[in-house]
Amino acid sequence: MENANTSPLLLSDDIAYEILRRLPIKSVQRFKLVSEPWNSLISDSKFAESHFHRLQRDAMSSQDKLLLIGQLYAKGGP
């Protein structure tokens, strides 16, 4: 019987996809070397598009927060 501590951890493709698309691009590029399936996933144009849109959305969220904080302090702050 195989020991539970020695069995490999397997992620479904969907879970790996969601995790990888949330990482910074520099990390994602390094993770292409982890395995052939990850390389294929990361190299896929749909993944690249999804990653790009997520980064754009996160950047917009950060900008919105900075604008809100700036407006708050301009009005006398907390």
Q: Return the higher-pLDDT residue of 65 and 23.
A: 23
pLDDT, residue 1, reads: 47
- The pTM (predicted TM-score) of the whole model is 0.59
Q: Which amino acid is residue 35, in one-letter code?
A: S
Give domain limits for the chain.
Answer: 25-74
Closest of 45, 43, 44, 54 to residue 18, by C-alpha = 54
Q: What are the tokens at 48?
A: 């690249």
Residue 19's H or E segment, with its range, is: helix 13-21
* 3-state SS assignment for residue 11: coil
Averaged pLDDT of the chain: 79
Q: What are the tokens at 49?
A: 């598009």
